[in-house]
Structure 1
């Protein structure tokens, strides 16, 4: 699947994957009360884990994110480990979970993957084919983790609304993205900023812009960004700010510096200006559903920049031979 096809396929994939996940959830008993849950991943899956952890804590689960590479060097840190890998072949995640001796749950798209062999329980996403720069697998992973967290915490959101909202966002974001693409293409660096559940959007957004368009990017947590990292910003930079709180003021400040800024927000009271473009998202049914909607305009921007640069976004120049395992 090509990158552009993956973007447009997400509404249908989200609907199909949600049904498969909801059918499988009854087999996964909640952790014992007070259990500490480690969310383990690398790359895009690590970005997912960083957003899932605070959302799950808000639901009453004692969850935190730990990079698979860090867990390789750590002793026991949790009572339950959730390994996240769309392919099920991420070498670091598999190796980290292989050394764990307590309950291990795997979240993957492939039931015959190496990850499936090392965990005690499996939650299959059944999200189908994905593009080399993740689209369908990434958004389906966010949805799966949202559904799992609600199942384990005994809460419920209307996830059936998400595919329709995703379709709407893709349609509404395309002209907005095209209106800023030329200016972002000229930027010497693109900062992507967000906090809380939007941490995943900042991390994955910066990653996919590097992968798809080979853009120079950096990902920042909102409040950390205020403590020095924004010092190099000027009118040669561009910035994507994702959020509804301090992010709105930040977006205005950045545009005031002449930095071309795209604010992705649910706020409808923010006025654009010469350097500030505002993309207003619909209200999501849950926090993690919101992160699915947030990534869609960034995917569209990645594709637009890639096309402008004559790139197909269909693979990587620098393939590594030790990050994916055989087995499926």
Structure 2
């Protein structure tokens, strides 16, 4: 599947994947979410979302030594990442992958299959389906795991997100006006990608995807960390891609005042001005659902920049022989 086809296929892929998800039970304890590359970015977003919901969860790079956990969730859309396959945990282990015939599926007794269909070389459908599966799984485990009285009280007033509504929201995100955003990115010597909370998944995967698709020079930062020094590099040759609704909005105005071009992806009603391109995404009450919508926007920006640069985004130039099991 080609990159633009993968972007457009996501509403259907998400609906198909949601309908086929089979969720295992879990009684509580620490969850280690393990991945590499795009899957590690998804793990960081899921860990933040799950902790906010009352679960104990941490994201672990697949290259790190195993940690003691009640459950280890190995995440690999292809099921062929060598680093994830090499991660050996003594705890109960579940694999989250797209393919039942993959090496990861064969090596793991418990499986959560995405069944999201084919993906593009630069991940589109597989990545957003992974975020959706992690969101659904987090909701399922939050409902069954014993939590503190405070967590129960806080959760009682919150309505669960309707995951069946996500494909329609993604369709809306596919139509959102991009304005001058693609040009701001294309013109930049460096793109700083900045987000916080669950949206760190979007920043991490967004920075990676913009490198893979548009061959942009990107750097990824957590919002509050960015305020403590990394933003000193900002100048008129830099573009700041901010993702979020909180401190990111004020930061967008501050950065614009420095003479740096800004792209802001947000659910807030913020007006675009000279040097500030605002892309509004639909509201979603679940952080991982929101991360799906944010990522769809970043994918579209990556494709726009690739087209401006005459790139086809049909594969990788610098493949390594030891990152995937054939």
Query: TM-score of the superposition, structure 2-length normalised?
Result: 0.93
1:96-115 map, 5 Å: 96=87, 99-115=88-104
Aligned residues of 2:47 and 2:59 also touching (Cα < 8 A):
yes
Aligned residues of 2:184 and 2:262 also touching (Cα < 8 A):
no
Judged with a 3 Å threshold, the aligned counterparts in structure 2 of structure 1 residues 271 and 76 are, in CA distance, closer, same or farther, namely: closer
Hey, what's the Cα distance between the residues in 2 that align with 1:226 and 1:46?
24
Residue 126, structure 1, aligned to residue 115, structure 2: yes
Residue 66, structure 1, aligned to residue 60, structure 2: yes
RMSD: 1.2
Once the two structures are TM-superposed, the CA of residue 75 in structure 1 deviates from its matched residue by 4.6
Hey, what's the Cα distance between the residues in 2 that align with 1:107 and 1:59?
20
81, 87, 95: which is aligned to 2:78?
Answer: 87
- Which position in structure 1 is the counterpart of 2:157? none
Aligned residues of 1:209 and 1:217 also touching (Cα < 8 A):
yes
Hey, what's the Cα distance between the residues in 2 that align with 1:321 and 1:77?
31
Hey, what's the Cα distance between the residues in 2 that align with 1:223 and 1:267?
19
Once the two structures are TM-superposed, the CA of residue 58 in structure 1 deviates from its matched residue by 1.6
Hey, what's the Cα distance between the residues in 1 that align with 2:31 and 2:69?
6
Hey, what's the Cα distance between the residues in 2 that align with 1:101 and 1:183?
48
Deviations 1:162-198 (A, max 9, x none): 00000011111xx415x33223211101111000000
Long gaps (5+) in structure 1:
none
Local SS of the residue matching 1:219: strand
Deviations 1:260-309 (A, max 9, x none): 111111111x2332111111211114111000000111101100111111
Residue 29, structure 1, aligned to residue 25, structure 2: yes
Local SS of the residue matching 1:38: strand
1:249-260 map, 5 Å: 249-260=250-261
Residue 311, structure 1, aligned to residue 311, structure 2: yes
Q: Find runs of 4+ consecutive structure 1 residues off by over 6 angstroms.
A: none
- Which position in structure 1 is the counterpart of 2:141? 152
1:1-328 map, 5 Å: 1-21=1-21, 24-25=22-23, 28-30=24-26, 32-33=27-28, 35-70=29-64, 74-96=65-87, 99-154=88-143, 156-172=160-176, 175-177=177-179, 179-268=180-269, 270-326=270-326
Judged with a 3 Å threshold, the aligned counterparts in structure 2 of structure 1 residues 169 and 106 are, in CA distance, closer, same or farther, namely: same
Deviations 1:2-27 (A, max 9, x none): 10010011011111111111xx12xx
Hey, what's the Cα distance between the residues in 2 that align with 1:83 and 1:103?
11
Hey, what's the Cα distance between the residues in 1 that align with 2:108 and 2:227?
40
Deviations 1:55-99 (A, max 9, x none): 1112221000000011xxx25421210000000001001100xx2
Hey, what's the Cα distance between the residues in 2 that align with 1:120 and 1:176?
44
Long gaps (5+) in structure 2:
145-159
Hey, what's the Cα distance between the residues in 2 that align with 1:75 and 1:310?
43
Once the two structures are TM-superposed, the CA of residue 112 in structure 1 deviates from its matched residue by 1.1
Hey, what's the Cα distance between the residues in 1 that align with 2:271 and 2:213?
30
Aligned residues of 2:7 and 2:125 also touching (Cα < 8 A):
yes
